[in-house]
Amino acid sequence: MSNILIIKHGSLGDISQASGAIQDISENHKSNQIHILTTKPYFDLFKKNPFVNNVILDKRLPRYNLIYLYFLMRELKKHNFSKVFDLQNSSRTNFYKNILFPKSSKEVWSSSVTTLPKDKNKDEFDKNSVLERFDYQLKESGLNTNNTLKPNFNWAATDISEIRNFYKITKYILLFPFCSPHLTIKKWPYYNKLIELISSKYGEEYIVITAPGPTEIGEAKNINALAVLDNGRALDISQLTALIRDSSFVVANDTGPAHIAAHVGAKGLTLFGRHTTAYKVSIERENFKPIEVTDLKNLSAERVFERLSNSLS
C-alpha cells in the first residue's frame, strides 16, 4: 500500500471545484492511502470527505519561517509519498516540490507545470477553465477522469433540520449579496429591489433568506431578507452547503457560495461583471446559470427576477 498526497489550499470555491478531481484521484488509487494537505479553514471539512483517508494541516506561514518549514517538510517526508497531485498549482506548492522532489516529473509530482502541453506556456494554459485544467493534468498523469469535469460537493453537507425548524423555513430563495471587501467589483447592488419583486409576485410562498459569513453579519442587516445563523454565529461550511442544496433558488455574486450551489445541483443564478467569465471559473452547470454583463451596476433587478421567475415556473 502506497501513500498518495493531494495538495489543495485554495478558497471555498476552489475547494468545491476540486471535489471531482479528488474523487478521481482516490478512485484511481483504491489500494492506496489518500492524504490531503490543506489549510485551517478546510481541515475539519476534509475529514468528512469519503475519498480522503488523512488530512494534514499547512498553516502557510511565511517561507522564511525556517522552523515551521522544517517541521512541515518532516511531516510530509515521513509518509514516503509515492505520488503527489498538486491541485493548488501555486508558487508556494512549486516551492514545496523543489524541496521534496526537486527533479521529479509528472510520474511523481503531478502539477500544471509538470503536465503542461508542449505547445503552450503556463499563461496560455491558464486561459482554459479551471476544471479543464484539472482534467488535462490528471489525464496526463495517467488517470481516468470520470468526475473531474462534474464535481459533486454534496459530501460536505450536514443535517440542518434544527436550524430550519428554528427559523420555520421550508421553501426559500437564498441570496448571497456579499463579497470580500477588496473585491467589490463582484458586488451586484440591487438585491433589495430583487427582494421587492419576489415578495410582490410570490408573497409568502417563498421566504427570502441569506446566510452571512462571520464578517458579513452586520452587513446583512442592510438586506431585507431573513439572515440565517446558528445561535448567532455564521453557519459553518457543512451547514451552508446543506442550506444551499435544499433551497428552491439561489442568486449570488461570484463568491464561494455560488460555487457550492453549482456543485451541489442547486437551481440558481450567479452574476458576473467584467472581473472574469463564467467559463474561466467553471461555474455554469445544468441547473446553475450565469448572467454576464460588462458592469453589474447596469444589470437590472427586473432582468434577474425574470430569469428567476422563469426557472421557478
In tens, the pLDDT along 238-273 reads 999 999 999 999 999 999 999 999 999 999 999 999
Give the pTM. Answer: 0.93
Domain 161-312 fold: Rossmann fold (3.40.50)
Q: What is the pLDDT of residue 181?
A: 76
Residue 83: CB atoms within 10 A of its CB come to: 21
Residue at grid coordinates 430583487: 194
Give CA 309 to chain center in angstroms: 26
- pLDDT value at residue 24: 98
Q: 105-148: per-residue pLDDT in tens?
A: 999 999 999 998 888 788 888 888 999 999 999 999 999 999 99
Give me the long-range contacts of 201-204 (CB less than 8 A, separation at least 24). Answer: 201/305, 201/309
Domain extent listing, the chain: 3-152, 161-312
pLDDT at 149 over 80: yes
> Which DSSP symbol is given to 256?
H
pLDDT digits (tens, 9 = 90+) for 43-77: 999 999 999 999 999 999 999 999 999 999 999 99
Report the CATH number of the 3-152 domain.
3.40.50.2000
Residue 184 has pLDDT above 80, yes or no: no
Q: Which of 152, 265, 252, 161 is nearest to 211 (CA)?
A: 252
Asked if 3-152 and 161-312 have one fold, the answer is yes
Q: What is the mean pLDDT of residues 300-308?
A: 97
| Residue 291 pLDDT > 90 | yes
